[in-house]
Homo-oligomer: A and B are copies of this chain.
Amino acid sequence: MRITFLGTGAAGGVPRYGCNCAACERALANPVFVRRPCSALVEDGDTCVVLDAGLMNLHDRFPLGSYSAIVLTHFHPDHVQGLFHLRWGVLGNVPVYCPPDSEGCADLFKHPGILDFKPQTKFESFQIGSLTFTPLPLIHSKVTFGYLIENRHGVRFAYLTDTVGLPPKTLAMLQQSNPDGLAIDATDPPSTNANAVGGNHNDWNQALALIEQIKPARAWLTHLNHRSDTWQISNNPVLPEGVQVACDNAIIELQ
């Protein structure tokens, strides 16, 4: 199973528009540090799944027919905005597996165009080609799923963006599954009391604590904001063995 991090940024990405903090200046100077809307590509043999659709150039990057399906974690704009244009395609049909969110985003349900939305049920697995996806409820301000993704050889990857903590049943399932890889929301730097209130995302320490509980073979912190990158530049934190900060365009091979 091959994972490509298409984007590893929180809403607004890195650089943030108009920002001159250390992380944003660094990303403006060197594209390797840019964080685009959080999304990934999962490939396994002939199966190719786009996880979230926030990339603004999704239609240019993925020609019709070049992927099996789109799978959405939730309907916040930074995770679906690439669909507003892509949906007006012709001569095709794009399966879009998603949480059962009756609102969707803007008029996507009213005018789906070529998108075939397929709302899923929590903990009920579905199949896309050679991959089995199990939707895991997360804790966020909109109905949100993480996914446990397994191929026919038993390789397992968990994708858990946009959550603050994890519901007990989701955590238990992840602990039982022994994932080979796990990508998890680590939007904010370690919180102070001032910014911990009302959070909708993990901070650095919450993400590491969850990794410690789940014990995947390898883990990646993703969905990072510019404050996290600036904090890393200043503090150069040491991560536990097997844990890395994700970066855009990085490719992971899980076997």
**Is the pair A17, B89 in contact by a Cβ cutoff of 8 Å?**
yes
Query: Nearest-CB distance from A188 to chain B (Å)?
Result: 14
**Majority-rule SS of A interface residues:** loop
Interface size class of A (residues with CB under 8 A): 20 to 34
Query: Nearest-CB distance from A128 to chain B (Å)?
Result: 20
Given contacts A84-B78, A88-B11, contact A18 B106 (CB under 8 A): no
User: Which one, A57-65, A161-169, A173-181, A206-214, is touching chain B?
Assistant: A57-65
Select A89's contact among B16, B90, B92, B113, beta carbons within 8 Å: B16
Given contacts A56-B56, A57-B56, A77-B106, contact A19 B90 (CB under 8 A): yes
For residue A16, which residues in chain B have a CB less than 8 angstroms away from its CB? Answer: 88-90
Query: Nearest-CB distance from A222 to chain B (Å)?
Result: 17
For residue A113, which residues in chain B have a CB less than 8 angstroms away from its CB? Answer: 12
A27 CB within 8 Å of chain B: no
Within 8 A of B (CB), among A98-115: 105-107, 113-114
**Is the pair B81, A85 in contact by a Cβ cutoff of 8 Å?**
yes
A91 CB within 8 Å of chain B: yes
**Is the pair B56, A91 in contact by a Cβ cutoff of 8 Å?**
no
**Is the pair A78, B85 in contact by a Cβ cutoff of 8 Å?**
yes
**Is the pair A18, B107 in contact by a Cβ cutoff of 8 Å?**
no
For residue A56, which residues in chain B have a CB less than 8 angstroms away from its CB? Answer: 56-57, 85
**Is the pair A90, B13 in contact by a Cβ cutoff of 8 Å?**
no
A20 CB within 8 Å of chain B: yes
**Is the pair A17, B81 in contact by a Cβ cutoff of 8 Å?**
no
**Is the pair A77, B88 in contact by a Cβ cutoff of 8 Å?**
no
Rank and list the top 5 A-B pairs by shortest CB-CB distance, nearest first: A12-B88, A17-B89, A18-B64, A56-B56, A18-B89
Q: Which residues of A contact B (CB under 8 A)?
A: 11-13, 16-20, 37, 56-57, 59, 63-65, 76-78, 81, 84-86, 88-92, 105-107, 113-114
